Amino acid sequence: MSEMTSTTTEIFDPYDYDFHEDPYPVYARLRDEAPLYHNVSDDFWALSRHADVHAALKNDTVFSNRMGVSLDASAWNQDAHRVMSFLALDGKEQTRLRKLVSAGFTPRRVRDLVPGVQALADHYLDRLLVANEDHGEVDWIAELAGKLPMDVISQMIGVAEADRDEVRRLADLMVHREDGVRDVPEAGMAAALELISYYVTMVAERRKRPGDDLTSALVRAEIDGDRLHDGEIIAFLILLVVAGNETTTKLLGNALLHLGANPAQAEDVFTGPDLVGAWVEETLRHDTSTQMLARYVAEDVELHGQVVPAGSKLLVLIGSANRDERVFTAPTVFDIHRSPDELAKSMSFGVGRHFCLGANLARLEARVVLEELVRRTSGLEVHSERAVRVHSTNVRGFAELPVTFTRRA
Ligand code: HEM
């Protein structure tokens, strides 16, 4: 079939529930038939091939983050950086903030989180396995995956232990999507404001009495006399919630779903040498939580023979790039035995100046939790027919995932 550079909406509707159930056949059509796709009714463009996604993410001059990274009109505006910090900035402004923040977010600081993450994994797994025995199954999201990532963030930034349940409730409400996928519901805005006000108080306290947490490190951070002011610190704390909570929850859920659907590989994971790292990486490639990122086209650009005008909104489809048959062998197959070289080509944590600041932390959380799970259990059955999917253009994964675990004797 000849390449179409522009079509009506019949191929790709990112708000369509069927698309959320299984976006991959749609991506395959886009890659083959419309590698530059123009959705006329919602007025956005999309790139789906690995090479194009990589090039667009690298070229942050033309493909800007300045309007935010979400497709939704409600989150697309010049002020996106007020809640998304440097994720929604370019050039020098992004470099400055990311540098200052990185001073508090070093690899050592992330490594130091291991005992805390392990304690949380033990805590939630203890309860989960008791519930599993009592009821014959458990909801992996409610019991662990939906809680641990936000608790890790709270631990890292120094939220008092007594406040962590409430902070998690607000963080979850902030991205709550009721039955629709387009609009930020009012409850979400109210929760965001409450969380911001909690962080305002916390930052003020750390300015008075600094401790050993990330917030205190951000208060202290200084490069050549330049420091972060309160608004910048608070925007970064909110960014951690937006970027690091739901994404990691979805990774933990998707990992179980795909291992459950592949009994031979589950057997390898539960009986063989340590394959947890490979299991996590293949989950990230095969079915990543961040399927697409939006970009603002800063100047006219020619792609696949067509000019995309300045001012356009363009989606880079990471979920599609990770399944591109031009790069991956048998891309639709979930295979934890893929070579590290191939896995390294997956772009789940982005590319270039906005490469995920929390990639090491997300990997660490997944490894600690899943290694502990493998130590304590000898198998799993995922009841995927009763799983409840989240409908969203921002994340891919589950709101509920019933699983039965076999406890090790
Ligand atoms: C940026 C994915 C977990 C913090 C990004 C980007 C992606 C991504 C694709 C690039 C955005 C862009 O190019 O516009 C993921 C996935 C995760 C995850 C799939 C889990 C499986 C985390 C965690 C944290 C975090 C745990 C921290 C607690 C950030 C931050 C940025 C970012 C701060 C902005 C970096 C910048 O703009 O310079 N993430 N992320 N992420 N992520 Fe993550």
Tell me the CA–centroid distance for residue 359 and ligand 1, in Å. 7
From atom 1 of ligand 1, which residue's Cα is the shortest distance away? 356
User: Domains of the chain: which residue ranges?
Assistant: 17-407
CATH code, residues 17-407: 1.10.630.10
**Considering the entire predicted model, what is its pTM?**
0.96
Q: Which residue has the tokens 């299984």?
A: 22
Q: What is the pLDDT of residues 124-182, one digit of tens each?
A: 999 999 999 999 999 999 999 999 999 999 999 999 999 999 999 999 988 766 555 55
Per-residue pLDDT at 273: 81
Q: 321 with 345: CB under 8 angstroms?
A: no
pLDDT at 95 over 90: yes
The span from the CA of 192 to the CA of 175, in Å, is 9
**What is the predicted ipTM?**
0.99
- Mean pLDDT, rounded, for 235-262: 96
Q: Cβ distance 92 to 345 under 8 Å? A: no
Ligand 1 binding pocket, CB closer than 6 Å: 65, 69, 86-87, 98, 153, 239-240, 243-244, 247-248, 251, 288-290, 293, 348-350, 354, 356-358, 361-362
Query: Ligand 1 mean position to 208 CA, how many Å?
Result: 30
Closest ligand 1 atom, residue 65 Cα: 14
For ligand 1, atom 33, which residue shows the shortest CA distance?
A: 357
Q: How far apart are CA 394 and CA 294, in angstroms?
A: 10
CB-CB neighbours of 153 under 10 Å: 25
Mutation choice for ligand 1 from 236, 356, 360, CB with most ligand atoms inside 8 A: 356
Residue bearing the CA closest to ligand 1, atom 36? 354
Distance CA 157, CA 218 (A): 9
| CA-closest residue to ligand 1 atom 4 | 358
> How far, in Å, is the centroid of ligand 1 from the Cα of 354?
8
Nearest CA, atom 2, ligand 1 = 349
**Residue (of 397, 406, 351) closest to 141 by Cα position:** 397
- What ligand 1 atom has the least distance to the C-alpha of 366? 21
pLDDT tens track for 69-82: 998 887 888 888 88
Distance CA 319, CA 373 (A): 27
